[in-house]
Amino acid sequence: MDTTFYFDTWKRFVKEGVLDSARLNQRILESWYRCKTEKVNPYLNKAHHVLTQQELDGKKAENALLIELATPFLKKMDQPIKESGMMGLLVDPDGYVLSLSGNDRTLMNARRINFVEGVQWTETEVGTNAIGTALQAKEPVIIHGPEHYSVASHQWSCSATPIIHEDGSLLGVIDVSCPVESSHPFMIGMVTSISYAIEKEIASRSYKRELKLIQHATVLAETYKNHLFIVCNYNNMILSASKSILEKNPRVIGMNVFEFLHNKYNIDLEMPFFLKEDNSRHGTCFFLSKIATEQSRIFVPHSTNSFSFQGEAGVSQVFQNTLQKVKLVAPSDTSVFITGETGTGKELIARAIHDNSPRKNGPFISLNCGAIPKDLMESELFGYVEGAFTGARKQGYKGKFEQANKGTIFLDEIGEIPQTMQVALLRVLQERKVTPIGSTKEVPLDVRVITATHRDLRQLVGEGDFREDLFYRLHVYPIEAPALRDRKEDIPHLARYICQQSNWNIDNLEDVVDRLIEYEWPGNIRELTNVLERVSIMLPQWHGSLVGLINEVLPTKSLDILPTEENELVKPLKPREKIQRDLMLDALKKTKGNVTAAAKLLDIPRSTFYKRLQRFSL
């Protein structure tokens, strides 16, 4: 490798910000730009953030599984790397070096730049390096000589590979480093093979755990022959089930437990399974009872005091199904991901999950991620200590996560969170700990996380704007908030409820129900609220009818008419459509133009009747 060229390239980038991207590895190019953005010191001659022995012992305890898995492989490569003038390192997901061994001379040189156990060797701490960049890119990385961003590592060659847990989370990094003159191509192959072996061991252990769960299920099947049950792993994936469930649902194995239960079964009893080795929970058996009748599948909140919903539930089947999902997930601690258009009431759904959970007496903290400036988001979420930065409060500030301890945090518009914060948020979700800005003390968290967005996060993941690992960490139990146009039968109930809550005196609302239902409501419940507020303000000075005022306030044509329906206006009607049109005209004549009565006469939903009115230009 031409180190002179790379040194010249580095020097020009550091001094002038100019980079010949065509001649630099893409990962290094991306890393250099990240370092410049984070204002990493390129002239840093050694690392500064090193844990105390007590803090290091705590880190080792946290990463006991990683150390246990990696130690046998590190011992096997210890002699070859010593003889080659190298050293091997095990690093945790936060970039802290947990263990370091190898050639004595190399270790001595490493100490000069604080490359020791307990040091944090991330991009933000020491610039582009194999460990930090592998943590960022989640793939094997080689960084040689002046490819490092800070001068502290310019005399080193490093190869690192991440270790990925089977659930997609980052377990740690294996690294081999040496002085530039001792570098050898086999370094990257060595760390990659060790990482692969550790990942295989993780998979093997998981397989053995799942076999134990299946054995448990076999015993349960013999003991409880007349009971319905399913057995799930720690990811809530179904591994086994009772005979009667398997016969009726042959594809149940591999399904998510909550999707399987939805509208079909109630959980009567939850039985956890623990590993004898470390007493950790590795699976659960759910004893079930079938929801008896079709009628009982419709969940009506007002019919029971056991469910709380701070809004108007209405009568539509689509929203009752949404509330049934809420009722099902509320008692658990599962992360919930709410999707839906703007104005559909996603926060109300989140609040209902909290209010019906064991955390209901704890705080419910809501934050709109799209409304917080990017440079303030870290302090808003994680807090800060006194003197952390200019303008910080004297007593510091508890971030939203800490405020939500023992309760629920609701992160609305999660799709707006910047890339840098996605990494920090992922770490908090994995470790359930938060470190306020300016502090070295971690604060343990006991929070349930609910997120929401109107954006397509899968598309954002595909475009590289949202981390895939964070998506799967959040997207555990999805709930959709239906658009108002899909639950139009709820509009009369919602309108009355909104007026009552806001003390708006709009009499004879029933006179304008047809007009409210006719409109497509692209802004959903929020737009309905706005319209009713405008009506309440204008009504005292209005001299016409309420219908006239509604027509004055509402757009003359919905913004949300589907193009397919518009295109059909110019097409000749098919024979079946002509019959439908004639029947509708006849029904309208019989009911003297009353759309609600005409739809009832034809025994079709009112929303369908309105759509056909548009399609047939009636």
Domain count, the chain: 4
Domain boundary residue, one of 202, 236, 262: 202
Contact 582, 543 (CB under 8 A): no
- Domain with residue 333: its CATH number is 3.40.50.300
Do 401 and 459 share a domain, yes or no? yes
- Domain with residue 17: its CATH number is 3.30.450.40
Do 332 and 472 share a domain, yes or no? yes
- Rounded to 10 degrees, the C-alpha dihedral 20/24/27/33 comes to -30
User: Exposed e or buried b for every residue in 269-293, given b needs 16+ CB within 10 A?
Assistant: eeeebeeeeeeeebbbbbbbeeeee
Domain boundary residue, one of 297, 330, 358: 297
Residue 227: its pLDDT value, please? 83
Do 38 and 77 share a domain, yes or no? yes
Do 289 and 166 share a domain, yes or no? no
Instruction: Determine, yes or no, domain membership for 304.
Output: no
Range of the structural domain that residue 552 is part of: 509-526+534-615
Helix (H) or strand (E) holding 164: strand 156-164
Do 464 and 577 share a domain, yes or no? no
> What pLDDT digit, counting tens, does each position of 192-239 carry?
999 999 999 888 888 888 888 788 778 777 777 778 888 888 778 888
Residue 565: its pLDDT value, please? 37
Of the candidates 326, 299, 325, the one whose C-alpha atom is nearest the C-alpha of residue 314 is: 299
Do 162 and 45 share a domain, yes or no? yes
Do 547 and 415 share a domain, yes or no? no
Counting as low any pLDDT under 50, the low residues of the chain are 293-305, 557-570
Do 194 and 85 share a domain, yes or no? yes
Strands 448-453 and 408-412: parallel
Of the candidates 493, 501, 497, 507, the one whose C-alpha atom is nearest the C-alpha of residue 536 is: 507
Instruction: Determine, yes or no, domain membership for 215.
Output: no
Instruction: Determine, yes or no, domain membership for 218.
Output: no
Contact 492, 328 (CB under 8 A): no
Do 195 and 245 share a domain, yes or no? no
Contact 457, 473 (CB under 8 A): no
The whole-angstrom separation of Cα 253 and Cα 240 is: 6
- The conformation of residue 569, written as its DSSP 8-state character, comes to T
Do 360 and 465 share a domain, yes or no? yes
Domain boundary residue, one of 297, 313, 332: 297
Instruction: Determine, yes or no, domain membership for 353.
Output: yes
- Domain with residue 260: its CATH number is 3.30.450.20
pTM to 2 decimal places: 0.46
Do 32 and 132 share a domain, yes or no? yes
Instruction: Determine, yes or no, domain membership for 219.
Output: no
Do 290 and 367 share a domain, yes or no? no
Tokens 């002509």 map to which residue?
578
Give one DSSP letter per residue of 287-340, joined into a string.
EEEE---TGGGS--GGG-TT---SS---S-HHHHHHHHHHHHHTTS---EEEE-
The whole-angstrom separation of Cα 161 and Cα 171 is: 11
Instruction: Determine, yes or no, domain membership for 499.
Output: no
Residue 9: its pLDDT value, please? 73
Instruction: Determine, yes or no, domain membership for 496.
Output: no
Instruction: Determine, yes or no, domain membership for 489.
Output: no
